A = this chain, B = another copy of it.
Amino acid sequence: MAVSLRDVAEAAGVSIATASRALGGKGPASAEAIRAVREAADRLGYQVNALGKALREGSDGVVGIVVPMVSNPFYASLVHEFEDQLSNLGLKLLIADSHGELDRETERLEALASRRVRGIFAVPAYFDRSSPVITKIARRLPLVQVDRRVEDDSALSYVGVDNADGVDQALRHVRDRGATTVVFVGADDRTSVGRERERAFAAGVERLGLVAQRPIIDRYLFEFGLSAAAQLLRRSALPDAVIAGDDLIATGLLAGFARHGRSVPGDVMVTGFDGTILSDICNPTLTTVRQPMAKIAEVAIAQLTRQIEDAEDTGSHVRLHTTLRPGGSTERTPLT
């Protein structure tokens, strides 16, 4: 089998304790011992067994993240950011995909917890139904909610964006470009994000004096955007602008309208949410509400670190700002 510390110690002619100190650089060790042990370790191709080390130390340098769907470019980028920044701290990332389902989410969270990861970043599948698991796990170990949160989470940490303001930015943007009738095409209204965006839309419409058509709500999928476009075209009149719940839906709308020969932004304007690469790729490019993904990861990691260091740390909620990035999908002469 693999070579263990014992083998190295034997080969170096020292005790296993000395070998450990020599390699770990923690306790005292003579230069001579260090040299001999290092030499033996090299020669034998020794590598610490992280499991043994972790068992002894209570936990290893692994943190987990549970996202609803890695293949959604937004979460892919987010995971990328986390992996990146965590690696600079010497931490590894265990990733789990909940598919936005409670069962899978529960199972994954339990698995991570039982592995004694140092902490967990979670994007809850549901606003209400995920609450018990998330709360339960958070009692056992450091946990930071990212992007989405659960209800009754005043004791939990959370990092996300100001969705209400984000939707408002989109609404004002299309309003300034002449829109009077608008519609919201969003998703997952049983998630905090879905609810927040949908409500912000309703409130914003009211405040800005716009007219809202009946919203269409389903899932964060390109295919949904596609079918939503068809649905909108079946209605008596197209709105001036469609505010989509995320970039995936927005690009689906774009493709759907194109497929039916409608022009964006000519016949209808479209805005997205997230600021993923998708917004650059589509044609016209997508006006979207950009989330500061690197910053989200940074703040979330800082929060988790604080919780790890101070078990008493009480959860804090952080809302970061979004920025509207104008693209071709709303390119009209602004009103003055």
Contact = CB atoms under 8 A, between A and B. Distances in A.
Given A92-B94, A255-B285, A280-B222, A73 B70 contact: no
Nearest to A285: B255
Contacts of A172: none
Given A51-B115, A114-B50, A70 B71 contact: no
A335 interface: no
A113 B281 contact: no
Contacts of A108: 87
A94 B96 contact: no
Contacts of A251: 281
A48 B114 contact: yes
Contacts of A99: 84
Contacts of A62: 94, 115
Contacts of A69: 80
Contact of A73 (B76, B92, B95, B114): B76
Interface stretch (A19-27, A52-60, A124-132, A204-212): A52-60
A282 to B, nearest CB: 5
A279 B95 CA distance: 26
B94 A93 contact: yes
A49 B112 CA distance: 10
Given A54-B51, A96-B92, A111-B92, A281 B282 contact: yes
Nearest to A279: B281
B97 A95 contact: no
A96 to B, nearest CB: 7
Contact of A80 (B70, B104, B285): B70
Nearest to A95: B95
A254 interface: yes
Given A55-B52, A110-B47, A254-B283, A71 B60 contact: no
A283 to B, nearest CB: 4
Given A76-B76, A97-B83, A50 B255 contact: no
Interface string A64-100: 0000011101001101100110010000111111010
Given A51-B60, A258-B283, A281-B222, A77 B71 contact: yes
A130 to B, nearest CB: 18
A278 interface: yes
Contact of A116 (B50, B79, B94, B278): B50
A60 B115 contact: yes
Given A80-B97, A83-B95, 9 more contacts: A47-B110, A51-B59, A62-B94, A70-B83, A79-B95, A87-B97, A93-B94, A251-B281, A281-B281
